[in-house]
């Protein structure tokens, strides 16, 4: 499991770059417009996004809400014995900024609470609330992000037909 919401991997495939490109394009539909509370229309495609030459910017199509769904950047290149695909998984910028800001505020609150409220005689659970909030926010981000990355990897490995 990764401890930051970012992952970069390179897959090798015996397939020529043109075939991988065609396979990816067949699994990608144009990005849908943002809609409040509406589920996406049923589709057989696994991803949505854009293709630009040998580069793809996609996200997995899901029927539920998950702010931690990774943005996936794929770059295809010719290899000596086929092709290679460099795939980057990362949080959407707005989500990363929000989570970073939220974790920073909670961490600052916890440090301030620990430094300025010293009680020698009795144990106060309230001092640990920011720590619990920090751990919960961090764990929720990492677990949800890694769950979605693993699902996307499964689909991409089938499409690219990685070399073992």
pLDDT digits (tens, 9 = 90+) for 60-75: 999 999 999 999 999 9
pLDDT band at 41 (very low <50, low <70, confident <90, very high): low
For 6-94+135-160, CATH number? 3.30.310
Q: Domains of the chain: which residue ranges?
A: 6-94+135-160
Sequential DSSP letters for 86-141: EEEEE--HHHHHHHHHHHHHHHHHHHHHHHH---SSS--GGGGHHHHHHHHHHHHH
Whole-model pTM: value is: 0.88
Is residue 56 within 8 Å of residue 50, measured between CB atoms?
yes
pLDDT of residue 117: 74
User: 72 has which bridge partners?
Assistant: 58, 89
């Amino acid at each position: 499991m990764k401890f930051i919401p970012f992952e970069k991997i390179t897959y090798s495939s015996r397939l020529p770059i043109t075939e991988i490109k065609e396979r990816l394009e067949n699994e990608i539909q144009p990005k849908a417009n943002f809609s409040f509370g509406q589920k996406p229309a049923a589709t057989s495609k696994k991803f949505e996004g854009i293709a630009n030459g040998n580069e793809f910017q996609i996200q997995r199509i899901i029927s539920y809400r998950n702010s931690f769904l990774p943005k996936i950047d794929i770059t295809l290149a010719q290899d000596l014995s086929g092709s290679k695909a460099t795939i980057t998984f990362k949080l959407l910028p707005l989500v990363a900024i929000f989570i970073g800001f939220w974790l920073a505020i909670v961490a600052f609150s916890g440090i301030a609470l620990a430094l300025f409220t010293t009680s020698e005689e009795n144990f106060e659970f309230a001092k640990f609330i920011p720590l619990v909030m920090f751990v919960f926010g961090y764990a929720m981000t990492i677990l949800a992000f890694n769950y979605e990355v693993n699902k996307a990897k499964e689909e991409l490995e089938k499409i690219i037909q990685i070399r073992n």
